[in-house]
Each structure stands twice: as C-alpha cells, then as structure tokens.
Structure 1
Amino acid sequence: MEQAIYYEDYEIGSVRESIGRTITETDIVMHAGQTGDFFPHHLDKEFAKTTAFGKRIAHGTLTFSIGVGLTANVINPAAFSYGYDRLRFIGPVFIGDTIHTKVTIKEKKDHKKNPDMGVVTEALEVINQDGRVVLACEHLLMCEKKK
C-alpha cells in the first residue's frame, strides 16, 4: 500500500505494532551465508551449549533486519529512512522465538539544512513472545513538510 505521510502527520507518542514472525534455523543459516558471520554462537549447537545462553542464538543483525522489516507495511513517497541510532542488542533471540516490533514516535525536529524537510525519530523495540525487549534502536525518518 502507498500512502503519503508528511512530517506534520506524525504525532509524538503515537504507537504502532507489527505482526509477529517466528525465527527459524533456516533464517540463521541464510543470514550467516549472506553476511559471512559463521560464529559458532549461531551455528554450532554443541559450542552454544557452553555459552551463557546454553543454545544457539540468532545474529543481532538478523534480529535487527527482521524487526525493521516487520514495520515496512506502507510505502511512503513523502519520506525515507535517514538511518538508525542507539542500536542495542538487549537480549538473545533463539530458534523458535516469535518477535514483533513496537514503534513509538519519539521526537520531531526541523532539518537543519533543508527547511522543506523534518526528521521524525521513531523508537523501535523488538519484543519476543514473552514480552521481553530483545532489541532497541531509534529510526530517523526524513519527511517532507506539507507545502
């Protein structure tokens, strides 16, 4: 779906949540192949037994990618991603965990160099099936202002 959402349309404090997605062993293997991160924490069941988590964990970058992807449900021609700040891997994600993403509009400010644009900061929390936040970051969204 495509919908123009302008800077003025975003309301501080508004919240939206994504659907859930279960992390599979295939997700982890595919991500390892795509990134070259073959650390045994993700792929070696016996090694993982010796870690603090006791079993294999998903890559933090996999959790980030899927968590962000879950929020991509509207194509907004009036905005684009300006980047991510304050990314933290707070807790492990295991094979079989189901995650979803909560997005809260945190801040709005004028763009310093372009008066026709504003920056919206979205606080993203990736949450597992037990209600625990496993990843948090801020998404900066560059938005057109209404003319």
Structure 2
Amino acid sequence: MMLQTRYFNDYAIDEKRVSQGRTITETDIVLHAGQTGDFFPHHMNEEWCKTQPFKKRIAHGTLIFSIAIGLTATVINEASMTYGYNRLRFILPVFIGDTIYTVLTIAAKEDYKKPGYGLITEKVEVYNQNEKLVMACEHLLLVKKCNI
C-alpha cells in the first residue's frame, strides 16, 4: 500500500487500473455467511446445489463486491474519499476456486456542489480467470480540487 495525493484535475477520462487476482475459497464463503447471517443454500449446501442450474455452490454477491473493491485498495489518496456506489450488478456467478480481478476505468468527472471538490465516477468491472465479466458497478469518488 502506498500514499499518493491526486487532485480532481489529475484524473483523466478512460484512465485504467487493473488489480491483482484473488482466488475465492470455501473459507471466504463460510466466513462471509457467518458475518452477514446469509446462510442460503446457494452458498452453503453442496448437495442441494447439485439440483440447481449451476450445480455447485456460488459465492455471495456481497462477498465478491467486498473482495473486488478491496483488491483496488492499494493507494491511499489523502485528497479523496469514497462517496458511494451506483448500479451494482452481479452478472455471472462466482464459484469456489474462481480467481477474480478488478478493472477500474475513469468514466466521468463533474463539479460537486461543495466548492473545492469534484466527483469522479469510476467504472468498476470484475472478471474471472476466463475473462468473463462477473460484476459491475460505479464507484463515486469525492476529490479535492488543487488550489493553484
């Protein structure tokens, strides 16, 4: 992890960043179920899942979201903070043993209602080891403007 100061004007539309990969494990799913209380059989019951369309357990969407965003947390920017997330979609299931990675693309920049700040929209795309899109959302980043 590194410290970096980037102001609103330092971001460029279509700029991309790709994370490292992370393999999803059974332990991830069990811990997430315990933390959230989501013990639905889609995540926890291998035998029941054999009777379902995917034939095996799937990772919680919220687990994939958490890990995917965590993979992007490699730089601390003192001039920005997360404002929120929009348009979260779970496109394909993620299974035990799948490896995911995250691609961030700067999609939009706009002035913010509070003077001295701008809003950056990052397109967040999460892919599996087969380069199939499994999750997507928009990350809103509130960023200070440079005082030049």
Q: TM-score, normalised by structure 1?
A: 0.98
**1:71-110 alignment runs, 5 A limit:** 71-110=72-111
Q: List gaps (5 residues or longer) in structure 1.
A: none
**1:17-56 alignment runs, 5 A limit:** 17-56=18-57
Deviation string 1:74-133 (CA, Å, 9 cap, x unpaired) is 011100000000000000000000000000000000002x12000000000010000000
Q: Which residue does the alignment assign to 2:129? A: 129
SS in 1 for 2:38: coil
Deviation string 1:24-78 (CA, Å, 9 cap, x unpaired) is 0000000000000000000100111111111000000000000000000001110
Between Structure 1 and Structure 2, how many residues are aligned?
146
Q: TM-score, normalised by structure 2?
A: 0.98
The whole-number CA distance in structure 2 between the counterparts of 1:83 and 1:109 is 15
Q: Which residue does the alignment assign to 2:142? A: 142
The whole-number CA distance in structure 2 between the counterparts of 1:47 and 1:77 is 47
SS in 1 for 2:4: coil
Q: List gaps (5 residues or longer) in structure 2.
A: none
SS in 1 for 2:29: helix
The whole-number CA distance in structure 2 between the counterparts of 1:53 and 1:72 is 31
The whole-number CA distance in structure 2 between the counterparts of 1:122 and 1:51 is 35
The percent identity for this pair of structures is 62
The whole-number CA distance in structure 2 between the counterparts of 1:138 and 1:52 is 29
The whole-number CA distance in structure 2 between the counterparts of 1:76 and 1:47 is 45
SS in 2 for 1:75: strand
Q: Which residue does the alignment assign to 2:64? A: 63
